């Protein structure tokens, strides 16, 4: 399976959003990660539909829309209309996760589930065969630039074992504290896609950094 990079636009320059999106268009990025925060589920507020629609306008790359909000099921259709290709909901916010996943797919999007650092991946045993990706949070969600939580590696191994036993095609993503220091090990331990924000947008050459992160997935070649 290919190893993918999804830059998190939350770390971009919103006074020059178009330029940042065009930079990503011309990079090796496989998709653009868009964080939606409500100030309730996480202690921060980010952008909403207008910004997502603007990003959609300027790129043809897939948009991975990460909903760090309560009651995400209320907005599934609206996010599809705004341009989401892959809708990521949190295990911790969905009372009826199976139903929410079904609704996402019925709207024509890929359906993914994120788990916070304290959430055991064993909670996904009954849903993992019906989702496209598990997004493992390697920081506590809400803010960029946090320190990577080392326990993430163990969760990746557990997930890879579960997916392998069931012979599934479910992908594994990692979000938080990803940089050139840990990218290779994350890929080695089972990650398929890495979400990186500060490591890319604070780099002297973001395009080069994206390519270097992607190259870390070639450890088996």
Predicted structure pTM score: 0.96
Check which CATH number belongs to the domain holding 196 and give it.
3.20.20.70
- Residue 92: partners with Cβ closer than 8 Å, 6 or more residues away: 41, 115, 116, 119
pLDDT band per the 50, 70, 90 thresholds, residue 145: low
The alpha helices in 110-197, defined as continuous H runs, are 152-165, 183-188
* Per-residue pLDDT tens over the stretch 90-134: 999 999 999 999 999 999 999 999 999 999 999 999 999 999 999
Helix (H, G, I), strand (E, B) or coil at 2: coil
Nearest-angstrom CA–CA distance, 21 and 57: 10
Identify the band that residue 146 occupies on the pLDDT scale cut at 50, 70 and 90. confident
Q: How many domains in the chain? A: 1
**Is 35 among the residues known to form the active site?**
yes
CB of 130 closer than 8 Å to CB of 166: no
Collapsing DSSP states into helix, strand and coil, what is residue 18? helix
Domain that holds residue 107: 4-218
Q: pLDDT at residue 221 above 50?
A: no
Q: Point out the catalytic residue in the list 20, 30, 35, 132.
A: 35
* Catalytic residue of the set 20, 30, 64, 175: 175
Stated length of the chain: 221
Span 45-52, average pLDDT: 93
The yes-or-no answer on residue 20 being catalytic is no
* Cβ 35 vs Cβ 64: under 8 Å: no
């Amino acid at each position: 399976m290919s190893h993918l990079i999804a830059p998190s636009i939350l770390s971009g320059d919103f006074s020059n959003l178009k330029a940042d999106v065009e930079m990503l268009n011309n990079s090796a990025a496989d998709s653009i990660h868009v964080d939606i925060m409500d100030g309730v589920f996480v202690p921060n507020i980010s952008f909403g539909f207008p910004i997502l629609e603007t990003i959609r306008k300027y790129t043809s790359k897939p948009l991975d829309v990460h909903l760090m909000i309560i009651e995400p099921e209320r907005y599934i259709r609206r996010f599809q209309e705004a341009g989401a290709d892959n809708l990521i909901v949190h295990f911790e916010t969905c009372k009826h996760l199976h139903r929410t996943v079904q609704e996402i797919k019925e709207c024509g999007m890929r359906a993914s589930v994120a788990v916070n650092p304290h959430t055991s991946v064993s909670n996904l045993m009954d849903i993992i065969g019906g989702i496209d990706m598990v997004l493992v949070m390697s920081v506590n969600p809400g803010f960029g630039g946090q320190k990577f939580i080392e326990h993430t590696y163990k969760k990746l191994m557990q997930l890879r074992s579960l997916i392998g036993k069931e012979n599934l095609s479910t992908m594994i993503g990692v979000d938080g504290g990803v940089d050139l220091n840990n990218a290779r090990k994350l890929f080695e331990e089972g990650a398929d896609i890495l979400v990186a924000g500060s490591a890319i947008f604070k780099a002297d050459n973001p395009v080069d950094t994206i390519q270097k992160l992607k190259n870390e997935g070639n450890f088996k070649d």
